[in-house]
Amino acid sequence: MTLPTLAARPTHKVLPLLRSEISRISHRRLFRIFALVLLGGIIVISAIAFANHHSVAVAPDNFGTNTPYRAKQVLPVVALVTSLAVAGIAFVVGASSGGAEWSSRSMTLQLLWEPRRLRLLTLKWLGLVVVMLALALVALLLALGLGALTASMRGTWTGHLPNHFGDQSLGSLLALMVVRGFVFIAMAATIGYAIAVLVRNTGASLGVAFIYFAVAENALRIALMKYGPEPYLLSTNAVAFLIPGGLDVPGRVLTSSQPDQNGMLLGPVMVHLSNARALFTMLVYTALISIPAAWSFARRDVS
């Protein structure tokens, strides 16, 4: 047995490390299963849509099918739903890849190769985001492409966008939705990974997310109803960010000694969450989770 001789000393460049990280995430079975299910699901749903629409309107059945596939009505929804689905996957893959690195102790091994912790963490995060955005790109191209095909063969490009989407063209609307979708997916992956870095466990990070969305947000809605927590909740802002033009949500509840025109003494003030405001709120959430995660990763001992 003899030790091999290297032609050059090991390097610590950014790009090879990033490439290795991208390769590591894309080789994960969970990611591959999710990607397969997502892309397969898009194909199946698109095929169903194709089969159930006709270019010339015939008598619609009870399910509203047999009508033309209206691109301007459907494609924005396709972009929205696809972005949400990829964001969900990004969160789970982020939490799972972060958790797996701790449970398998491979993080320890990697720190023996790149001891600059923040650099390693940044590259790992970047690798995750790149992989998830690549999946998002493929999924959105596939979903919108198949939708466009269906509209061309079994539907129509004429008609109007939904009223609250404004008077922009379908192309610019979709382009902006895709860009916002990318930002949202990157944030979902970041939050998932950051929680995993904080708690160092996949199950615990998914549990934290479940408790937040299923319990904490609803508890806040009920407990703080008077103060109108809705505009500040993560899930509300996520939807407000993705929907073109934003979302109107109930805010602070006003009390009045005089009943309003509907005879009500109480009523919430409607708050408009623009895309920009929702983005800002989500960035605050992302920072609130990511900064402690990075600090903890840089400071805590690794076993």
Q: How far is the CB of 25 from other proteins (least distance, A)?
A: 10
As a whole number of angstroms, the distance between CA 135 and CA 89 comes to 10
Is there binding between residue 33 and other proteins (CB under 8 A)?
Answer: no
Which one among 24, 53, 180, 200 touches other proteins, defined by CB under 8 A? 24
Which one among 79, 114, 173, 255 touches other proteins, defined by CB under 8 A? 114
Cα dihedral sign, 175-180-183-188: negative
Neighbours of 30 (CB within 10 A): 15
Is there binding between residue 16 and other proteins (CB under 8 A)?
Answer: yes
Phi, psi of 17 (to 5 degrees): -65, -40
Stretch that binds other proteins, among 71-79, 107-115, 152-160, 233-241 (CB under 8 A): 107-115
Is there binding between residue 106 and other proteins (CB under 8 A)?
Answer: yes
Q: How far is the CB of 183 from other proteins (least distance, A)?
A: 28
Which one among 104, 169, 172, 235 touches other proteins, defined by CB under 8 A? 104
* The token pair that represents 273 in the structure block: 């969450």
112 DSSP 8-state letter: T
As a whole number of angstroms, the distance between CA 278 and CA 242 comes to 9
Is there binding between residue 160 and other proteins (CB under 8 A)?
Answer: no
The residues, ordered by sequence, that sit 6+ positions from 220 with a Cβ below 8 Å of its Cβ are 229, 233
Which one among 33, 60, 61, 113 touches other proteins, defined by CB under 8 A? 113
Of 44, 56, 137, 55, nearest to 90 (Cα)?
A: 137
Q: Which residues here bind other proteins, judged by CB under 8 A? A: 1-13, 16-17, 19-21, 23-24, 27-29, 100, 104-116, 299, 301-303
